[in-house]
Structure 1
Amino acid sequence: MTTSSTTTPNPGRLITFVGGDGAGKSTLATRLHQALTDAGHEAILVGKHTTGVPDPELAAYLDRLNELVYRRDARVAQVCGDHYWLLALASWYTLQDRLVIRPALAAGTHVVLDNAHHKILARYAVSPEVPARLAERVFAHLAEPDLVFFLNIDAREALARKGSFTSLEAGHAGNTDEDFIRYQDTVLNQMREQASYSDWLWLDVAGLDRDEVFKTAADELTDRLNLTV
């Protein structure tokens, strides 16, 4: 008589990034994902346009929702208002969490999440139109990250790195550099407040080149999660 046993893989780790526009979150997320893969870890990189799931109908639905949320006319975005976009974003994050992130973690795959919801919380915290507590509640069910990197940099240096910005990145307050800096600094202060009472890993990236930021983050990944890269 033969017996068969199945082993449940250790759950994957969820790694996310917080910071203002131009802080270097996407660059760092991409490099850490590549480093994890090169080191032999099962890992996926999830961004704001990640819609790939095995079920083609669900994948198509997820893609249509992504198009509504992220690939829409800027004028439409402003007309719809803050409450609508909060709930639309919550819908998108809910489905990506349910259909992409949690299945990967359950299968033992590490998830590098480039576009975490924390920046959205910071933006709504400085919006007078929507109660901050409402914004917190609609994202409260999402998978809890194992490690959050907070890339701290002031808005002026971030703008120098970016070179250009969208109306959203200036809070729809204007189109000058000072409009971007004023709004981003306000949002950044909210992120710093979140960081002060959260177990985020604070990285001061001002004045550091990309290699230095990556090396620091990779070392912390090894120390905190025992993921050697």
Structure 2
Amino acid sequence: MTLGIPPATPARGREITVTGIDGAGKSTLSARLHRALNAAGHTAILVGKNSTEVPTDPQLSAYVDQLNELVYRRDPRVAQACGDQYWLLALAAWYTLQDRLVIQPALAAGTHVVLDNAHHKILARYAVNPDVPLRLSEQVFAHLTQPDLVIFLRIGAREALARRKGEFTSLETGHSGSGDADFIHYQDAVLAQLRDQEQRGGWLSLDVAGMDRDAVFKTAAGAMADRLQLTI
């Protein structure tokens, strides 16, 4: 009788998170890192704020999509009416489902995850909100999978605003106004909170002020490959 050899368990995938203030270039870098990983022969997925597909389970995908619609595709009047405490818990529910149903299974299968729009910026926003206790904000996200690498794109709010060509939403000013000065004041406050998280979390911090997209990608990709021992 010949005993079968059980298949080898794949090595756990790595989670790479990109964070920074609005306009720092997070989505652009995340997409390029995702493409580069796959081009180098790795299996990788890109997860963003509208990623709702749960592999092989259309019912769960539909449910996650419904929650995504409630959280990210709502009328601005709804956001104002529901209040900050509600949105903190709604966002925590969204990140919990995405982590449990998309990110954790991918990592267990050996797939690398590039995460755009992670919860770090949410924490920073709530840290400058006097109406919500910071401890509560930290607790509702504490159970999420810890990334293997957080890439922090550091840039001042004034330069980030210039990159956005003056286009921003009320959320990106902390609902404090609609002018450029409101954006700059709020985003610099959020940046200070992100820098505090950086110091406590051992992030890979990149000063991207004055750098073009190609230079940011080259620097981030090289540092990621070095820290995680990934060929890219």
Equivalent in the alignment of 2:143: 141
**Aligned 1:45-64 pairs, distance under 5 A:** 45-53=46-54, 54-64=56-66
- Provide the secondary structure at the position in 2 that maps to 1:185: helix
**Aligned 1:28-39 pairs, distance under 5 A:** 28-39=29-40
Equivalent in the alignment of 1:3: 3
- Provide the secondary structure at the position in 1 that maps to 2:147: coil
**Aligned 1:159-198 pairs, distance under 5 A:** 159-163=161-165, 164-198=167-201
Residue 34 of structure 1 and its aligned partner are, at CA, apart by 0.2
Residue 221 of structure 1 and its aligned partner are, at CA, apart by 1.3
Matched residue pairs, number? 229
1:3 and 1:144 map into 2 onto residues whose CA distance is 38
- Provide the secondary structure at the position in 2 that maps to 1:52: coil
Residue 183 of structure 1 and its aligned partner are, at CA, apart by 0.5
Q: Percent identity among equivalent residues?
A: 71
- Provide the secondary structure at the position in 1 that maps to 2:201: coil
- Provide the secondary structure at the position in 2 that maps to 1:203: strand
**Which residue among 193, 197, 200 is the counterpart of 2:203?**
200
Contact 1:44 1:112 in 2 (8 A): yes
In the TM superposition, what whole-angstrom CA distance separates every residue of 1:126-170 from its partner, at most 9, and x where no partner exists?
A: 001110000000000000000000000000000000111011001
Residue 29 of structure 1 and its aligned partner are, at CA, apart by 0.3
**Aligned 1:118-133 pairs, distance under 5 A:** 118-133=120-135
1:227 and 1:214 map into 2 onto residues whose CA distance is 15
**Aligned 1:64-103 pairs, distance under 5 A:** 64-103=66-105
- Provide the secondary structure at the position in 2 that maps to 1:197: helix
1:99 and 1:194 map into 2 onto residues whose CA distance is 26
Contact 1:221 1:228 in 2 (8 A): no
Residue 2 of structure 1 and its aligned partner are, at CA, apart by 2.3
Task: Tell me the amino acid that sits aligned with residue 93 of structure 1.
Answer: Y
TM-score scaled by length of structure 2 = 0.98
- 5+ long unaligned stretches in structure 1: none
